């Protein structure tokens, strides 16, 4: 079945440093979503990418979808303590409409 791998599992950064999490699928994705889960909270939708090579920005967050639609990344510029949480990617493969979630990357920001 489809597998979605996300790396790294954890990332410690000093406030102000950049952060990137990577998502790789074993199969071609029709689209990919990114979610953020704050400690003690539930996942909250951030964005969806659909087109090959698509890049979208939300303030300090940059999301990319690979040309082959099998990988994606989330980059945060100049992290802040409010960025702390676990970031998940999720995407359905082929004709499926059910997304598979990656295991998430937990971001820890040290002030």
Residues at the site binding another protein, with contacts judged by CB under 8 A: 1, 6, 9, 31, 33, 35, 41-45, 48, 88, 90, 92, 97-104
47 or 77, CB closer to another protein? 47
5 or 78, CB closer to another protein? 5
Closest approach, Cβ 89 to another protein, in A, equals 10
8 or 16, CB closer to another protein? 8
Closest approach, Cβ 34 to another protein, in A, equals 11
Residue 6's DSSP bridge partners are 23
52 or 80, CB closer to another protein? 52
Closest approach, Cβ 22 to another protein, in A, equals 15
Report whether 70 contacts 2 (CB < 8 A): no
Burial, 99: exposed, middle or buried (Cβ in 10 Å; 0-12, 13-18, 19+)?
middle
Cα gap 40→30, rounded to integer Å: 31
Closest approach, Cβ 72 to another protein, in A, equals 14
DSSP string, 59-109: TTEEEEE-TTSSEEEEEESS--GGG-EEEEEEE-BTT--S-EE---EEEEE
């Amino acid at each position: 079945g489809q597998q979605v791998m996300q790396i790294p599992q954890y990332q410690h950064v000093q406030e102000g440093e950049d952060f990137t999490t990577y998502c790789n699928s074993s199969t071609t994705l029709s689209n990919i979503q990114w979610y953020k889960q704050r400690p003690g909270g539930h996942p909250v939708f951030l964005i969806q990418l659909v087109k090959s090579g698509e890049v979208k920005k939300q303030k300090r967050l940059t999301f990319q979808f690979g040309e082959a639609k099998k990988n994606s990344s989330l980059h945060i510029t100049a992290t802040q303590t409010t960025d702390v949480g676990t970031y998940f990617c999720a995407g359905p493969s082929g004709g499926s409409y059910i997304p598979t979630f990656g295991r998430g990357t937990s971001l820890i920001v040290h002030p």
